[in-house]
Amino acid sequence: MTRTPWPRTGPLLLLALALPAALVACQDAGADAKTEVGPVPQVTPAAEIRVEVATIQATQATVDIAVPAEVQGARDALLASPTGGFVEKVYVEEGQEVKRGQAIASIDRASAAARREQAAAQLDQARAEAQRVETLGDLASAQQRDQVQTQLRLAQAQDELAAIALQRSMITAPFAGVVGQLGVEEGEIAGPGAPVARLVELDRVELSMSVSDRDVVGLKAGMPVAVTTDAAAGLFTGTLSTISPAADLSSRAFTVKAVVENPERRLLPGMIARVALAEVLASDAVVIPQDWLVTRLDGVGVFVAQEGVARWRPVTPGKVVHDQVVITQGLAAGETLVITGHRELADGDALLVARQGTCCTDGRVAF
């Protein structure tokens, strides 16, 4: 039997197949050894956030504003006749002082008196007819009784209307004051509602001013005011009387009025004055700019700097004075607030303090 000889390349082929396996085993062993002796990874610390801070000091919350104002009479009325008519008599002159109830002018009073007489006669006739039907007793029908009662009521109403018209035909002063203007002359025909005279109270004047929403929140009725004007020397004092609860739709400002006693009548309607208001709302209080507050979904607060770290602190805002706010709870004097960069902070962030100051002098930080 003849044997088939081994190919000469047989040993070489086996060696070629064994080498890759040996190489893979060596690489695995090297990888394991490297893993066991390799260095431990290091955690990079969080970057510090650059901020400015201020140490809080107790201070006063003071309203201090000055605004222009227009002088008006404490009471200022345009008197007119509701029906108009012939101007029979004008009893006063411009600049004349009048008392309450004093006659100013009579407008078509003769015609009004005649209509009153006519209404009174018709009322007498209706009463007499009602009395006659009443004396008939059962002889009068129910319809007759109803008819005379209706006529009587109509006559009474007409008499009352005529009496009101007669009263209003005489224009009288509703309050004591000075006749500022006269709008009619004797012999003219005044239209219904046309101004007859302007009556102004001058012993006390009212000053009307426009105040922004930022300032009006610190005002209240009864606050003292100081008034000056170029038209009259000296200082006048008064009090705030009314504060509009809604802003003017065109100017977005609130109308505020003050009352000033004016016995010498040096302040006159139409003058422009300047009103200064100053009052301490809170003493020994924590007052900070509103911009330092941070609003989050869970409330309003500030960031306090503690040992180089930002800490979130909920606070309770109180009264607002200009751009400042009184903090009633959550913050005490001596603590340090983050005042710039605070809107990008989260609780626990590391801080890099660029500047440190003291709060607050006239609402500003002193560095």
**Strands 49-56 and 351-361, how do they pair?**
parallel
* 260 and 361 housed in the same domain: no
Task: Pinpoint the alpha helices (H) of 184-228.
Answer: 213-216
* 294 and 358 housed in the same domain: yes
Q: Which residue has the tokens 């800490």?
A: 311
* 251 and 338 housed in the same domain: no
**Angle in degrees, CA 246, 280, 324, rounded to 5:** 60
Asked whether residue 317 is assigned to any structural domain, the reply reads yes
pLDDT, mean of residues 283-311: 92
Mean pLDDT over each residue of the chain, to the nearest integer? 86
> pLDDT-based confidence at 42, cuts 50/70/90?
low
* 306 and 341 housed in the same domain: yes
* 177 and 215 housed in the same domain: no
CB 126 within 8 A of CB 151: yes
* Helix orientation angle between 142-168 and 109-136, rounded to the nearest 10 degrees: 160
The pLDDT tens digits of the residues spanning 120-129 come to: 999 999 999 9
Here the CATH number for the domain that contains residue 95 is 2.40.50.100
Asked whether residue 253 is assigned to any structural domain, the reply reads yes
Q: Which residues lie across from 279 on neighbouring strands?
A: 63
Task: Pinpoint the alpha helices (H) of the chain.
Answer: 10-37, 109-136, 142-168, 213-216
Domain residues for the domain of 145 are 109-168
- Is the pLDDT at 14 greater than 80? The verdict is no
Using alpha carbons, select from 110, 72, 87 the residue that is nearest to residue 198.
72
Asked whether residue 29 is assigned to any structural domain, the reply reads no
Structure tokens at 342: 């605070």
Asked whether residue 269 is assigned to any structural domain, the reply reads yes
- Is the pLDDT at 204 greater than 90? The verdict is yes
* 210 and 358 housed in the same domain: no
Share of the chain above pLDDT 90, in %: 66
**Which phi and psi (to 5°) does residue 104 adopt?**
-105, -50
Using alpha carbons, select from 220, 221, 238 the residue that is nearest to residue 229.
238
* 242 and 274 housed in the same domain: yes
Here the CATH number for the domain that contains residue 339 is 2.40.420.20
* 69 and 211 housed in the same domain: yes
Here the CATH number for the domain that contains residue 231 is 2.40.30.170
Domain count for the chain, please give it: 4
> pLDDT-based confidence at 259, cuts 50/70/90?
very high
